[in-house]
């Protein structure tokens, strides 16, 4: 069934499908804010300001009151409330909305999803401010990661979904012999109501793949944002509902679930028997609970882990240091892909200028970090602000834990933000530990905390990295090595533990900025995530092919059928 919105965006979808099979660089949505218009960022800011001190409007059913207590990590008062809806009411309307959405067919659903993405893209400046003042990301990073790159991830999931849905014809004539002749019809059918539990630090980047994969394959979606980052997903839900309505579909295919912040809302709704798909990216405690408790649903859970770095040898020592500093500072370590532990051997780092001892490496890294922080305007653009008081507490706890037993290479301290005096900005904490201090480094310390670990040699570095990633999970493994045998051993480790491996990154290619349409962000093969992102399984698990077959009527029956 053709659909005008599908035809409108078909060229983009074709490009996206080519991109997922080519895996070269491709940005479907402009990453430079100026492309959105000379005054686009100013207009975005005004649109954001309009949300403040106001009631966010959503015409959802089952409203029981209003809630939402977001506080900007930059100190800006938001004073913004959302309708709190009864989750059972949202599930009921979702189920009601589903059948006609399913029967509308692949092209209608895909077309509507593409239109939602186009509207979201147009709203990127407004979204950037919403993300900045909920997640603490710098405006530039919020725009890039939470805007065009998050939309690109949504498009990537949509391209996979469309590809997997269209592998089977809608109709087939099956004939074995004269009497065995059947007409078979196939239809993409959804698994059921899809719940997306939002992340506090990357709400759009994490939610969009799930949103578009679920919606395109016929599942209604309920988005439960993190209580500290509601606005970005509320905006996305409002856009989706508007487009659905305009296209003649039930807006309740996408709803926002905001609850009493004290209530056990996410846990309750996650166990509802009608919730059949759950996507979650966030802290390990809730993710592990989900994997254990939500047995009725298919789960897509990313909880992160301890991403490891191995520094063995390099072509360019200074470029290595600079790249590491940028990765450690990016969004103050509040990305699940941030490197957490850096293994360096007491045999030293081989560089073109000679061997650098492990101790010298730690000092050099701390020095490079200090140099980077010297320019506060540049620094806060990379660091952003700390989203949660728990992260600030985590810095302090890590420092207390290390003090006396390990060497603190660089203390964390509050930094002044040139523009936002109330912003929670803290420089990264850098600790130097020894190989036997697993209790220090074999733990994800989400935030601006990194630990250099001295080992006996490259083999011990590899073994410790492997043990850490196997036990705690990891998304990626960054290895600086020029020696072929170290590279080969690292590849073996990465394959065994299911982590994406990067060699010798320098410049602004950061390990914690996975590239849409090229990189797989998680493998599902270690505890960091229960699925790969984004791949065939990520979309194929959200639907099945429903099948109706009927015998072709024998000619003698036809008259009688008409009589009936």
* # chain residues binding a second copy, by CB under 8 A: 79
Q: How far is CA 431 from CA 27, 395, 449, 525, in A?
A: 37, 11, 8, 29
- Binding range to a second copy, per CB under 8 A, among 110-118, 382-390, 428-436, 532-540: 532-540
Give the x/- contact pattern for a second copy in 286-315, rule: CB under 8 A.
-----xx--x-------------------x
**Position 557 contacts a second copy (CB under 8 A):** yes
Listed ranges 124-132, 173-181, 196-204, 444-452: which one lies at the site for a second copy (CB under 8 A): 173-181
Q: How far apart are CA 528 and CA 505, in angstroms?
A: 22
* Contact flag: residue 555 with a second copy (CB under 8 A): no
Stretch that binds a second copy, among 188-196, 231-239, 365-373, 402-410 (CB under 8 A): 188-196
Q: What residues between 366 and 405 interact with a second copy by CB under 8 A?
A: none
Token output for 297: 């649903």
> Given candidates 164, 250, 279, 444, which one binds a second copy under the rule CB under 8 A?
164
Minimum Å distance from CB 151 to a second copy? 18
Residue from 8, 14, 25, 268 that binds a second copy (CB under 8 A)? 25
Q: Which two tokens stand for residue 547?
A: 């099948």
Q: Minimum distance between the CB of residue 307 and a second copy, rounded to whole angstroms?
A: 14
Considering only residues 32 to 71 of the shown chain, the ones binding a second copy according to CB under 8 A are none
Task: With contacts defined by CB under 8 A, name the span among 82-90, 135-143, 396-404, 533-541 that binds a second copy.
Answer: 533-541
Nearest residue (CB) to a second copy, 413 versus 547: 547
Q: Which is nearer to a second copy, 224 or 480 (CB)?
A: 480
How many C-beta neighbours within 10 Å does residue 131 have? Answer: 32
187 contributes a contact to a second copy by CB under 8 A: yes
Q: Which stretch binds a second copy (CB under 8 A): 53-61, 81-89, 461-469, 523-531?
A: 523-531
Going by C-alpha positions, the residue among 149, 122, 212, 224 that lies closest to residue 542 is 212
Residue 336 has φ and ψ, to the nearest 5°, of -65, -20
How far is the C-alpha of 243 from the C-alpha of 257, rounded, in Å? 19
On whether the CB atoms of residues 82 and 234 are closer than 8 A, the answer is yes
284 binds a second copy (CB under 8 A): no
Nearer to a second copy, 401 or 525 (CB): 525
Of 445, 479, 475, whose CA–CA distance to 461 is shortest? 479
21 counts as binding a second copy under rule CB under 8 A: yes
Query: Min. distance of Cβ 222 from a second copy in angstroms?
Result: 19
Which of 230, 528 has the CB closer to a second copy? Answer: 528
Closest to a second copy by CB, 439 vs 483, is: 483
Do residues 419 and 381 touch, judged by C-beta distance below 8 A?
Answer: no
Give the residue, chosen from 180, 224, 232, 279, that forms a contact with a second copy under the rule CB under 8 A: 180
Q: Is 411 in the site for a second copy (CB under 8 A)?
A: no
Per DSSP, what are the bridge partners of residue 309? 342, 478
* Shortest distance, position 287 Cβ to a second copy, whole Å: 14
Structure tokens, 403: 């003090």
Write out the binding residues for a second copy, residues 427-486 only, by CB under 8 A. Answer: 482-483
Q: Pick from 174, 318, 360, 456: which binds a second copy (CB under 8 A)?
A: 174
Residues linked to residue 410 through DSSP beta bridges, in sequence order: 430
User: Which of 384, 499, 359, 404 lies closest to 448 in space, CA to CA?
Assistant: 384
Contact 37, 12 (CB under 8 A): no
Closest contact distance (angstroms) between CB of 362 and a second copy is 24
> What gap in Å lies between CA 241 and CA 419, rounded to an integer?
36
Q: Which residues inside 209-238 make contact with a second copy, applying CB under 8 A?
A: none
Strands (E), 29-79: 54-55, 63-67
Q: Distance between CA 128 and CA 384 in Å, rounded?
A: 13
Question: From the CB of residue 61, how many other CB atoms can be counted at a distance below 10 Å?
Answer: 13
The number of beta carbons lying within 10 Å of the beta carbon of residue 395 is 23
Residues 72-101 binding a second copy (CB under 8 A) are: 99
- The Cα–Cα gap between 481 and 239 comes to 47
Which residue lies nearer to a second copy by CB, 192 or 473? 192
Preceding amide of 534 cis, omega within 30 = yes
Which residue of 11, 400, 485, 550 would you call a contact of a second copy, by CB under 8 A?
550
Shortest reach from residue 78's CB to a second copy, in Å: 35
SS3 431: strand
Site string for a second copy, 493-512 (x = CB under 8 A): -xxx-x-xxxxxxxxxx---
Give the DSSP H/E element, type plus range, for residue 545: strand 543-551
Interface with a second copy in residues 329-358 (CB under 8 A): 350, 352
Q: Which is nearer to a second copy, 189 or 467 (CB)?
A: 189
Whether 307 and 472 have beta carbons less than 8 Å apart is answered as no
Cα–Cα dist 563/553, whole Å: 15
Residues near 503 by beta carbon (within 8 Å), at least 6 away in sequence: 479, 480, 481, 487, 490
546 lines the binding site for a second copy (CB under 8 A):
yes
Give the one residue of 79, 167, 318, 360 binding a second copy; rule: CB under 8 A. Answer: 167
């Amino acid at each position: 069934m053709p659909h005008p919105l599908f035809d409108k965006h078909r060229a983009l979808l074709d490009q996206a499908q080519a991109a997922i099979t080519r895996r070269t660089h491709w940005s479907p949505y402009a990453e430079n804010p100026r492309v959105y218009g000379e005054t686009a960022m100013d207009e975005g800011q005004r649109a954001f300001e309009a949300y403040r001190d106001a009631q966010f409007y959503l015409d959802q059913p089952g409203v029981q009151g209003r809630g939402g207590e977001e506080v900007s990590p930059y100190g800006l008062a938001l004073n913004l409330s959302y309708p709190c809806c009864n989750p059972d009411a949202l599930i009921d309307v979702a189920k009601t909305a589903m059948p006609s959405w399913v029967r509308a067919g692949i092209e209608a659903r895909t077309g509507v999803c593409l239109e939602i993405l186009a509207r979201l893209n147009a709203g990127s400046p407004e979204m950037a401010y919403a993300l900045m003042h909920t997640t603490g990301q710098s405006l530039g990073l919020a725009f890039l990661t939470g805007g065009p790159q998050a939309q690109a991830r949504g498009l990537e999931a949509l391209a996979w979904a469309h590809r997997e849905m269209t592998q089977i014809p809608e109709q087939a004539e099956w004939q074995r012999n004269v009497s065995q002749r059947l007409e078979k019809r196939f239809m993409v059918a959804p698994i059921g109501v899809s719940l997306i539990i939002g992340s506090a630090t990357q709400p759009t980047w994490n939610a969009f793949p799930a949103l578009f994969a679920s919606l395109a394959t016929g599942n209604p979606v309920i988005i439960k944002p993190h209580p500290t980052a509601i606005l970005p997903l509320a905006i996305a839900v409002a856009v989706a509902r508007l487009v659905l309505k305009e296209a003649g579909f039930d807006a309740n295919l996408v709803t926002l679930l905001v609850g009493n912040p004290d209530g056990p809302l996410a846990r309750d709704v996650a166990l509802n028997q009608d919730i059949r798909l759950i996507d979650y990216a966030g802290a390990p405690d809730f993710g592990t609970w989900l994997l254990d408790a939500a047995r009725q649903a298919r789960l897509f859970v990313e909880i992160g882990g301890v991403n490891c770095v191995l520094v063995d040898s390099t072509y360019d020592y200074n470029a290595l240091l600079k790249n590491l500093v940028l990765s450690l500072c990016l969004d103050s370590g509040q990305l699940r892909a941030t490197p957490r532990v850096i293994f360096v051997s007491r045999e030293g780092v081989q560089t073109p200028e000679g061997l650098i001892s492990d101790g010298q490496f730690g000092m050099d890294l701390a020095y490079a970090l200090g140099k980077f922080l010297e320019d506060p305007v540049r620094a806060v653009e990379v660091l952003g602000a700390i989203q949660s008081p728990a992260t600030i507490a985590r810095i302090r706890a890590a420092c207390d834990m290390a003090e006396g037993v390990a060497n603190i290479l660089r203390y964390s301290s509050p930094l002044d933000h040139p523009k936002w005096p109330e912003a929670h900005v803290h420089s990264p904490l850098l600790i130097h530990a020894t190989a036997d201090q697993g209790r220090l480094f074999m733990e994800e310390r989400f935030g601006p905390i990194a630990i250099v670990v001295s080992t006996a040699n490259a083999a011990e570095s590899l073994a410790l990295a492997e043990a850490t990633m196997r036990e705690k999970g990891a998304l990626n493994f960054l290895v600086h090595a020029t020696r072929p045998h170290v590279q080969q051993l690292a590849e073996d480790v990465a394959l065994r533990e299911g982590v994406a491996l990067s060699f010798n990154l320098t410049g602004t290619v950061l390990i914690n900025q996975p590239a849409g349409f090229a990189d797989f962000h998680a493998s599902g093969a270690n505890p960091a995530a229960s699925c790969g992102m984004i791949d065939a399984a990520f979309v194929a698990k959200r639907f099945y092919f429903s099948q109706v077959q009927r015998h072709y009527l024998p000619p003698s029956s036809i008259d009688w059928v008409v009589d009936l």
